[in-house]
């Protein structure tokens, strides 16, 4: 499992250095599929909650979220590269420093070397890098990518343990993610449309 976790860490890092939105979406999709692989092979008992988790990872995170964003970007005719963080040495240095901090945190929380420690380190890296993207970017697409990175980091962290919630709660969580994606799409479409449209008359406030 350590190899897959290292691959996940690379998928987290590489799109930060490649300034295209296609690479970002591919990275998100790969994160979903790598987590699906982990969920399939982690050796927990197959309960309804575990199956639901796998479906969530493949269909929502691996396929749904990146495809929805890709369709919106294509619809808007966006061709240029969109760096997730500023393309300079300082930003790249900050990203690498956050990964190092994540590994130090994991070292403190899980003192024995091994898979459990790597798991915490990679999840924490995902969380911190997602927050870095959110803190440094102002356009909606990059912020969405940052939020989805945070969501994926949480999902990866959850995978390191047996599911503790009833299946209904797990289902509700998956439905929330779908609703969140739908709302992301709604914002992405309207924010860019309003930015280019002439000012409309203001409706009376409620």
Residue among 36 and 143 whose Cβ is closer to another protein = 143
67 binds another protein (CB under 8 A): no
172 binds another protein (CB under 8 A): yes
Q: Which stretch binds another protein (CB under 8 A): 3-11, 31-39, 83-91, 164-172?
A: 164-172
Pull the structure tokens for residue 120.
Answer: 């915490």
What separation in angstroms does the CA of 188 have from each of 64, 76, 102, 175, 192?
Answer: 16, 10, 31, 20, 6
Q: Which stretch binds another protein (CB under 8 A): 29-37, 52-60, 82-90, 191-199?
A: 191-199
What separation in angstroms does the CA of 99 have from each of 9, 121, 125?
Answer: 9, 8, 5
Neighbours of 162 (CB within 10 A): 12
Task: Give the C-alpha separation, 67 to 65, whole Å.
Answer: 6
Q: How far is the CB of 89 from another protein (least distance, A)?
A: 27
Task: Give the C-alpha separation, 181 to 187, whole Å.
Answer: 10
Q: Rounded to a whole number, what is the distance in angstroms from the first to the last CA of the chain?
A: 55
131 binds another protein (CB under 8 A): yes
137 binds another protein (CB under 8 A): no
Sole residue written with tokens 């692989």:
37
Q: Of 94-113, which residues contact another protein (CB under 8 A)?
A: 108-109
180 binds another protein (CB under 8 A): yes
151 binds another protein (CB under 8 A): yes
Q: How far is the CB of 113 from another protein (least distance, A)?
A: 17
What are the start-end ranges of the H helices in 137-166? 140-159
Residue among 115 and 161 whose Cβ is closer to another protein = 161
Neighbours of 110 (CB within 10 A): 17
205 binds another protein (CB under 8 A): yes
154 binds another protein (CB under 8 A): yes
Q: How far is the CB of 19 from another protein (least distance, A)?
A: 22
Residue among 13 and 116 whose Cβ is closer to another protein = 116
Q: Pick the closest to residue 95 from 139, 131, 144, 140 (CA basis).
A: 131
CB 121, CB 103: distance < 8 Å: yes
Q: How many residues are listed for the chain in this entry?
A: 206
Q: Which residues bind another protein (CB under 8 A)?
A: 108-109, 127, 131, 134, 140, 143, 147, 150-151, 153-154, 157-158, 161, 164-165, 169, 172-173, 176, 179-180, 183, 186-187, 190-191, 194-195, 199-206
């Amino acid at each position: 499992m350590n190899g897959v976790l290292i691959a996940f860490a690379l998928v987290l890092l590489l799109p930060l250095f490649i300034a295209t939105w296609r690479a970002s979406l591919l990275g998100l999709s790969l994160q979903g599929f790598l987590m699906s692989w982990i969920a399939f092979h982690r050796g927990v008992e197959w309960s309804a909650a575990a199956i639901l988790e796998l479906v969530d990872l493949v269909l929502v995170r691996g396929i749904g979220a990146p495809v929805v964003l890709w369709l919106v970007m294509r619809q808007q005719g966006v061709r240029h590269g969109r760096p997730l963080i500023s393309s300079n040495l300082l930003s790249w240095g900050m990203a690498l420093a956050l990964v190092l901090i994540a590994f130090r945190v994991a070292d403190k929380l899980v003192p024995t070397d091994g898979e459990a420690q790597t798991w915490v380190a990679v999840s924490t890296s995902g969380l911190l890098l997602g927050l870095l993207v959110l803190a440094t970017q102002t356009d909606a697409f990059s912020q969405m990518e940052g939020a989805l990175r945070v969501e994926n980091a949480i999902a990866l962290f959850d995978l390191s343990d047996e599911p503790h919630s009833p299946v209904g709660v797990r289902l509700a969580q998956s439905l929330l993610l779908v609703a969140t994606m739908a709302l992301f799409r709604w914002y992405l479409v309207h924010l860019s449309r309003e930015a280019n449209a002439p000012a409309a008359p203001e409706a009376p406030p409620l």
